[in-house]
């Protein structure tokens, strides 16, 4: 973390956010393969490559690759040389049916916007692997939760309740957690593991 701050690779908020999320999900989602979807700078996936010996490959996927991603990979590799061999970096959209993501892979995402969080869940279900997301951007038009849930619990909670039902219907055990609201107001973590 010191190297990231010293070299001004990412804003401090982003660093704390990923470290906090990683600390809460690492044991539940680590597998030989981990896919960090809508990864942006890729720090969450890089943390899996650095700190989880059992993780052999981390796929970083986002439509575009910000300059910070290569800087992060270089920074992590300088401290932990094994990181570079574990990282597969892809600039493309995430999608169902990606044969390069193996069955059982762990799916993680920090702030996949709106329905992209749902697509992460769909991919995890398709691959029968664990999933952990930190959702953000809850577009009202896309909310499939019953109106009663939206009115009583608020739209954001209703979204995540609906996501929880989807995972449980796919035979997942689901847990909710949170990162500190001082780091991010969109701080709810949904974590699911296959029964």
CATH number for position 98: 3.40.50.150
Q: What is the pTM of this model?
A: 0.94
| Cα torsion angle, 108, 64, 43, 61, sign | positive
Note the pLDDT tens digit of each residue in 129-138: 999 999 988 8
Domain residues for the domain of 111 are 2-194
Residue 69 clears pLDDT 80, i.e. is over it: yes
- Here the tokens at position 113 are 């916007």
Q: What is the mean pLDDT of residues 29-51?
A: 97
Domain count, the chain: 1
What is the C-alpha separation between 33 and 49, in angstroms, rounded? 10
Burial class (CB in 10 A: 0-12, 13-18, 19+), 94: buried
Q: Evaluate if residue 1 carries a pLDDT over 80.
A: no
The confidence band for 142, taking pLDDT boundaries of 50, 70 and 90, is confident
- Across 144-163, average pLDDT: 93
Taking 70 as the threshold, does the pLDDT of residue 23 lie above it? yes
C-alpha angle with apex 108: 40 to 54, nearest 5 degrees?
Answer: 115
Residues 62-78 have a mean pLDDT of: 93
Contact 23, 53 (CB under 8 A): no
Question: pLDDT class for 5, splitting at 50, 70, 90?
Answer: low
Give the angle subtended at the CA of 125 by the CAs of 28 and 168, to the nearest 5°.
75
Query: Please, what is the average pLDDT of the chain?
Result: 93
The pLDDT confidence band at residue 91, using thresholds 50, 70 and 90, is very high
Percent of the chain past pLDDT 90, that is, above it, reads 83
Specify whether the CB–CB gap between 49 and 60 falls below 8 A.
no
> Is the per-residue pLDDT at 7 higher than 80?
no
């Amino acid at each position: 973390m010191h190297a990231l701050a010293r070299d001004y690779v990412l804003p401090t908020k982003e660093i704390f956010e990923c470290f906090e999320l990683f600390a809460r999900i690492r044991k539940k989602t680590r597998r030989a393969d981990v896919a960090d979807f809508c990864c942006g700078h890729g720090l969450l996936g890089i943390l899996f490559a650095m700190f989880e010996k059992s993780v052999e490959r981390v796929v970083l996927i986002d439509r575009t690759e910000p300059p910070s991603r290569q800087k992060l990979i270089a920074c992590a590799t300088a401290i932990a040389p094994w990181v570079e061999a574990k990282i597969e970096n892809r600039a493309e959209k995430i999608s169902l049916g990606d044969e390069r993501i193996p069955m059982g892979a762990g799916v993680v995402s920090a702030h996949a916007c709106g329905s992209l969080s749902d697509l992460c869940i769909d991919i995890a279900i398709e691959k029968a692997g664990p999933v952990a997301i930190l959702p953000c951007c809850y577009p009202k038009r896309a909310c499939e939760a019953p109106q009663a849930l939206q009115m009583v619990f608020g739209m954001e909670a209703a979204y995540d309740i609906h996501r929880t039902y989807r995972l449980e219907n796919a035979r997942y055990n689901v847990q909710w957690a949170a990162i500190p609201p001082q780091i991010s107001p969109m701080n709810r973590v949904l974590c699911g593991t296959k029964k």
